[in-house]
A = this chain, B = another copy of it.
Amino acid sequence: MVSISDVEAAIAEKGTMIDRELEKFLPRKKGDSLYEAVWYHMATGGKRIRPALALMACEAVGGDSRKAVPWAAACELLHNWLLVHDDIEDSDEVRRNQPTVWKKYGVPHAINVGDLMSQKVFQLVLDSKSSKVDDRITMQLLSLMAETAIRTAEGQAMDISMRGREPSEKEYMEMVTGKTAYYLTAPIIGGALIGGAGRKDMERIIEFGRYAGPAFQITDDVLDLTEGKGRGEIGRDIKEGKRSIMAIHCLSRCTPGEKRSILEILDKRPEDTTADDVRFVKAMFERYRSVEYSSKKAEELMAKAKHAIKPLPDDLRGLLEMFADYLISRKR
């Protein structure tokens, strides 16, 4: 049985290899507002869980994980690129308890920093050549990478468009599936591909992602309200007017008067939303058991995710089951 401590061991053991691969394409330059900013962001505490999963997936299907190092590093960079741009899009000033890139370097630099990272992602995938991945697989990895980022952008567009509206749970699920399904599992899919997994197995991992991704996002939204997400406060999503599943659930059940009050708060600019506003919305979510509903929904989705991977070979299935448990039980 794989456990989270195995992932931690993999991060400890192989983190250096990943960082060295990243440094090959992202030189550490001091006093340079481009590469310095990339490393500023990368250093604000990323857990490197994605690359560890990529390497472990490669091993789980019997492959040599060293071959998956460029892919693993590319996945870490994809993740960080999207965070840099997300923080601008969400006006988030704090990430992992540090000022976000745009807050520190300004919006123009932050957009450009993200753009650089998005291209370095492809240089990294192309570098799979140097670890003897054959060209046919590398082309598939490149497609997978582009596809992942595209689906994430499509989900993100829906997410942004939803603010200021009152979407249905169906719309929410469509948005969140787009935004997370590929994004969450791409490291594992690519790692397994490099390790020699077959098409059938890949499809099962994609199916897993279709449930595990939304489960992860819902858990994340609940965490924002209970523990905070390293953004320096609790209830940041309320300030941003995010249409989380809790908001959608509560809005569909509360009285018309309550609905007016909640929407008024959600639609205020983040800087105008007071602590009392946040407390009020949180109390509403609790009154209508929206937090409970959401946690239960996340658990149901994760059960479906686990069901989808039942036919996978033991080692790969074990890795994904462990990942599923980690996603739903983590505290931040």
Contacts and interface: CB of A to CB of B under 8 A. Distances in A.
Interface of A: 32-34, 82, 85, 88-90, 106-109, 111-116, 118-120, 122-123, 126, 129, 135-136, 138-139, 142-143, 145-147, 149-150, 153-154, 156-157, 160-161
B85 A153 contact: no
B146 A109 contact: no
A119 B108 CA distance: 20
Stoichiometry (number of copies)? 2
A135 B138 CA distance: 10
B34 A109 contact: no
Contacts of A120: 146, 150
Contacts of A146: 119-120, 122-123, 126
A138 B129 CA distance: 14
A120 B118 CA distance: 12
B118 A119 contact: yes
Given A34-B157, A135-B136, A149 B115 contact: yes
Given A34-B153, A126-B142, A89 B116 contact: no
A20 to B, nearest CB: 20
14 contacts: A34-B153, A34-B157, A82-B115, A90-B108, A111-B114, A114-B115, A116-B149, A116-B150, A116-B153, A116-B157, A122-B122, A126-B146, A135-B139, A138-B139
A154 B123 CA distance: 15
Given A126-B142, A135-B135, A142-B142, A115 B153 contact: yes
Nearest to A118: B118
Given A34-B153, A139-B135, A142-B142, A160 B122 contact: no
Given A33-B161, A111-B111, A122-B122, 13 more contacts: A82-B115, A112-B157, A112-B160, A115-B118, A115-B149, A116-B157, A119-B149, A122-B142, A123-B150, A126-B139, A135-B135, A135-B139, A138-B139
A142 B106 CA distance: 30
Contacts of A34: 153-154, 157
Contacts of A154: 34, 116
Nearest to A120: B150
A156 B112 contact: yes
Nearest to A153: B116
A107 B89 contact: yes
Nearest to A124: B146
A111 B112 CA distance: 10
A210 B118 CA distance: 24
Contacts of A139: 126, 129, 135, 138-139
